[in-house]
């Protein structure tokens, strides 16, 4: 099993835990990538005819497919950092037999097939327990393994509406989505919580667990305040946009520069007086319309206009520093460029560098790490995502004891492989064309040098 240790010699939290990752798309691959950061040996089961996120057009380095185009996707490497890769065509009986043997030597299995497919592959918990009685299995679906919607497929962007987020995100009109795959992220973090709990349970009792993770339920739990308000008061929340149900001023305001913004929130009288001081408008603190929270809320649009006149000519970071010194909660709205060059993110080491193989044609890149740290442990991304099928010999020969001839026979029969089947190199549109179509807002050809130095555009 995995024997990853920190540089100080201290074992990592999940050292010795083997994870079998059969998941696809985003949420569960991302969760399994975090398990690899924590020291687990994560074996990703892939199929040469289903390359999944390896072919994400929007995340190819320098917008070029390159020679080994299936080894270059930034999305794939973000989700699958630190893992090993074995290719198995689960349509074949031989592959299913190998999968069953792998289950027998694994601690955790993660999958996100539909209920019908998971049963066909023998991934239901009853079957898995016959192979490994104390295995921890996590099944991730849109709507869970029970109930009238259990057979329905789902993606994160549609789930946002089902679990209610869209209704809360609207600007007094049509429900809106958050922008990125919000449900995928919270499902990944929830999966980590559930898996850690299951590991503690197994350590105490010796018994495994099945985790039936329904993504729409995870999403609904993140809008709990609105649900409770209706359950206890019968009130249906209206759409708030960037506003707040009670606080004012509270919103997003334009700053100096093109598409530059900042946000602030005034929660009590002390913060309101501090904001008046920053605005250079002590008269506002004496205005009878704004003396109380209710008064300020009733006149929030007037206050927004006053604040906008002040923020438009100022830098968003300068505004944050000034208001934070006065005790007013606020912050700049960071875009993707800002995130990589922000001094606080760089100081915290949030973006971690991973070195790619020379064969991939990708130089070192920075990837998302974790939103937390652990004292005394060298938690980090230890490698980018694995090359397709790079661990075939290690898993089949080293872990399962198969001979070289057996492995070659599987490769000849197409059960395993090292190259994608039935797909050619993607043909991404030029960056200028993507900008014209509205896919992207802008691009920076010197991005690598600027990220390395932390310099602004």
Q: What's the pLDDT tens digit per position in 67-99?
A: 899 999 999 999 999 999 999 999 999 999 999
Residue 129 exposed, middle or buried by CB count within 10 Å (0-12, 13-18, 19+): middle
Specify if 370 maps to a domain.
Answer: yes
Last residue of a domain, one of 310, 340, 370: 340
Same domain, 359 and 323: no
Do 48 and 137 share a structural domain?
yes
pLDDT band at 239, cuts 50/70/90? confident
Residues 308 and 276 in one domain: yes
Range in 135-144, 164-173, 248-257 with the lowest mean pLDDT: 164-173
Residues 23 and 102 in one domain: yes
Whether 268 is covered by a domain: the verdict is yes
Flag whether 11 is in a domain.
Answer: no
Q: Are residues 316 and 187 in the same domain?
A: no
pLDDT value at residue 262:
97
Question: Which pLDDT belongs to residue 314?
Answer: 97
Query: What spatial distance separates the first Cα and last Cα of the chain, rounded to whole Å?
Result: 46
Query: 323 and 380 share a domain?
Result: no
Of 190-199, 214-223, 415-424, highest mean pLDDT: 190-199
**Joined tokens for residue 80:** 């699958």
Assigned domain for 166 exists: yes
| Structural domain contains residue 284 | yes
Tell me the average pLDDT across 96-106. 97
What residues contact 28, with CB distance under 8 A and at least 6 apart? 21, 110, 111, 112, 138, 140, 187, 188, 191
Q: What is the CATH number of the domain that holds 331?
A: 3.30.1540.10
Residue ending a domain, among 340, 371, 400, is 340
7 inside domain: no
Q: What is the pLDDT of residues 14-25, one digit of tens each?
A: 999 999 999 999
pLDDT band, residue 164 (cuts 50/70/90): confident
Q: How many distinct structural domains can be found in the chain? A: 2
With respect to residue 375, please indicate whether it lies within any of the assigned structural domains.
yes
Residue-number span of the structural domain to which 331 is assigned: 250-340
Evaluate whether 27 touches 140 at the Cβ level (below 8 Å).
yes
User: Over 70: is that where the pLDDT of 273 sits?
Assistant: yes
Non-local CB neighbours of 205 within 8 Å, separated by 6+ positions: none
At 177, the pLDDT band (50, 70, 90 cuts) reads confident
pLDDT of residue 456: 60
User: Is residue 78 located within the same domain as residue 122?
Assistant: yes
Burial of residue 50 (CB within 10 Å: 0-12, 13-18, 19+) is middle
Domain of residue 166, CATH code: 3.40.50.10540
Alpha-carbon distance of 27 to 33, in angstroms, equals 10
Q: Which of 340, 361, 395 finishes a domain?
A: 340
Which residues are registered as beta bridge partners of 136? 108, 209
Do residues 312 and 363 share a domain? no
Task: Identify whether the C-beta of residue 208 lies closer than 8 Å to the C-beta of residue 133.
Answer: yes
What is the average pLDDT across 435-448? 88
Distance CA 130, CA 137 (A): 13
In a domain, 12, yes or no: no
Highest mean pLDDT among 54-63, 129-138, 335-344: 129-138
Which pLDDT score, from 0 to 100, does residue 407 have? 97
Rounded average pLDDT over 320-341: 95
Indicate whether 261 and 379 sit together in one domain. no
115 and 182 assigned to the same domain: yes
pLDDT computed for residue 451 by the predictor: 83
Give the residues across from 111 on adjacent strands: 139
Residues 62 and 211 in one domain: yes
Q: How confident is the model at residue 384, as a pLDDT?
A: 96
Same domain, 188 and 210: yes
Which of 203 and 363 is assigned the larger pLDDT? 203
What is residue 1's predicted lDDT score, i.e. its pLDDT? 45
């Amino acid at each position: 099993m995995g024997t990853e240790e920190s540089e100080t010699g201290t074992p990592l939290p999940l050292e010795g835990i083997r994870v079998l990752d059969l998941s696809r798309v985003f949420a569960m691959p991302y969760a399994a990538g975090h398990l690899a950061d924590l020291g687990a040996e994560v074996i990703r089961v892939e199929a040469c005819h289903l390359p999944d996120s390896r072919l994400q057009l929007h995340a190819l380095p320098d917008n070029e497919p390159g020679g080994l185009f299936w080894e270059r996707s930034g999305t794939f490497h973000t989700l699958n950092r630190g893992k090993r890769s074995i290719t198995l065509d689960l349509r074949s009986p031989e592959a299913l037999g190998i999968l069953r043997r792998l289950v027998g030597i694994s601690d955790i299995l993660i999958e996100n097939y539909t209920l019908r497919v998971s049963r066909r592959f023998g991934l239901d918990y009853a079957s898995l327990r016959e192979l490994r009685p104390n295995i921890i299995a996590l099944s991730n679906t849109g709507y869970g393994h029970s109930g009238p919607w259990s057979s329905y497929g789902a993606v994160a962007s549609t789930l946002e509406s089902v679990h209610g987020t869209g209704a809360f995100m609207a600007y007094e009109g049509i429900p809106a989505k958050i922008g990125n795959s919000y449900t995928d992220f919270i499902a990944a973090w929830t999966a980590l919580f559930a898996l850690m709990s299951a590991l503690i349970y197994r350590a105490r009792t010796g018994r495994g667990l099945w985790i039936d993770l329904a993504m729409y339920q995870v999403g609904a739990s993140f809008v709990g305040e609105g649900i409770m308000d209706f359950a206890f008061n019968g009130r249906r929340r209206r759409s708030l946009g960037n506003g707040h149900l009670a606080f004012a001023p509270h919103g997003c305001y334009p700053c100096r520069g093109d598409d530059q913004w900042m946000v602030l929130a005034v929660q009590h009288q002390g913060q309101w007086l501090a904001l008046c001081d920053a605005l250079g408008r002590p008269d506002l603190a004496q205005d009878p319309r704004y003396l109380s929270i209710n008064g300020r809320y009733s006149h929030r649009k007037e206050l927004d206009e006053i604040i906008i006149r002040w923020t438009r000519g100022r830098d968003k970071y300068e505004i944050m520093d000034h208001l934070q010194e006065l005790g007013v909660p606020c912050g700049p709205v960071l875009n993707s460029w800002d995130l990589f060059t922000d001094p606080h993110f760089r100081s915290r080491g949030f973006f971690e560098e991973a070195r790619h193989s020379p064969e991939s044609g990708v130089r070192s890149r920075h990837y998302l790490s974790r939103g937390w740290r652990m004292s005394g442990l060298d938690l980090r991304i230890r490698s980018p995502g694995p090359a397709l099928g790079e661990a075939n010999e290690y898993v089949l020969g080293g872990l399962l004891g198969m001979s070289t001839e057996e492995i070659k026979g599987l490769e000849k029969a197409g059960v395993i492989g090292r190259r994608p089947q039935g797909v050619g190199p993607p043909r991404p549109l030029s960056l200028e064309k993507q900008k014209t179509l509205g896919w992207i807002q802008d691009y920076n050809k010197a991005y690598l040098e600027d990220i390395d130095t932390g310099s602004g555009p």
